[in-house]
Amino acid sequence: MMEDIVTVFPAVTILRNEPLAHYTHTKTGGPADYLAFPTNIQETKSLLAYANQEKLPVTVVGNASNLIVRDGGIRGLVMILTKMNHITTDGQTVTAESGAALIEATKVARAHSLTGFEFAAGIPGSVGGAIFMNAGAYGGEISEVAVSAEVLSPEGEIRTLNQQELDFGYRHSSVQDYHDIVLTATFALTPGDGEAIQAKMDDLNARRAAKQPLDLPSCGSVFKRPKGHYTGQLIQEAGLQGLKWGGAQVSTKHAGFIVNIDHATATDYLELIHHIQEVILKEDNVQLETEVRIIGEKPTAK
């Protein structure tokens, strides 16, 4: 019988059987057996080593903004890294711990009159999630500014990956392939005019607020953009905008988003996603792929 992880790591906040709906941006998701909030790299490494020793599955979550956790929850150890959030600058580079909000990293760049990061000014994810997904918006992608990332392998080895080794693609990085945990990331930017940088960030955020349902819980853009099409337009033309499924709804403001309007469950979200995929495949012969990351177990049948 293993020693309780909560007593092994008294300095780390670890919650038992904690509903992940408290942390996801959709406000849905079942419980984690153990939910830990490490505050530094050493704690993260030690938690991983302990989980490996005790054969506990490990799942790492950033800001949970582009994530759906199934209603059955997640077995083993879940780590949320948002307490690892230090951001530093050195000349024309910004280095951030993986749990730092990407928006905060762009603010630090602006404060130091560094340009190139403005596209990410409204992306609600963490730095680690942005590396994991090669996050992008308004014509920019993380791959254009990220030059390296320090990662922790599933076996517990810390190494630094350069841009080539990160193997960025559309909503993809090598971190996904090798199941690494992002610890820090470094971004190379260029000197610019602080007022012009702020003006561009303000403009992009205003455009985002005008088009996206930021006032309701959602997981952001649900689907990847299919080649030659716009996802929201496909969904709108199929007559699916505004469709309700349980407590979830295809946003009336932007059809590429699904919002939680009435105590939705993750199952509501996933069934609505599947329905949209079926309709678009039948009507347009387009296979919509999810951009949102879907993890966890299905709920136990009652």
Residues with a known catalytic role: 171, 221, 291
Report the C-alpha gap between 178 and 232 in whole angstroms: 32
H/E element, 15 = strand 13-19
Report the C-alpha gap between 150 and 161 in whole angstroms: 6
- Cα Dmax for the chain: 60
β-strand pairing of 31-37 with 257-260: unpaired
What is the tally of helices (H) and strands (E) in the chain?
A: 9, 19
Kindly state the tokens that stand for 185: 């990331």
Side-chain-side CA neighbours of residue 100 (13 Å): 22
Q: Which residues contact 250 (CB under 8 A, 6 or more apart)?
A: 235, 240, 241, 242, 243, 257, 258, 272, 276
Picking from 273, 266, 269, the residue whose alpha carbon sits closest to that of residue 298 is 266
* Torsion angle in degrees (nearest 10) through CA of 212, 145, 92, 107: 10
Q: Measured on CA atoms in the order 296, 169, 63, 184, is the torsion positive or negative?
A: positive
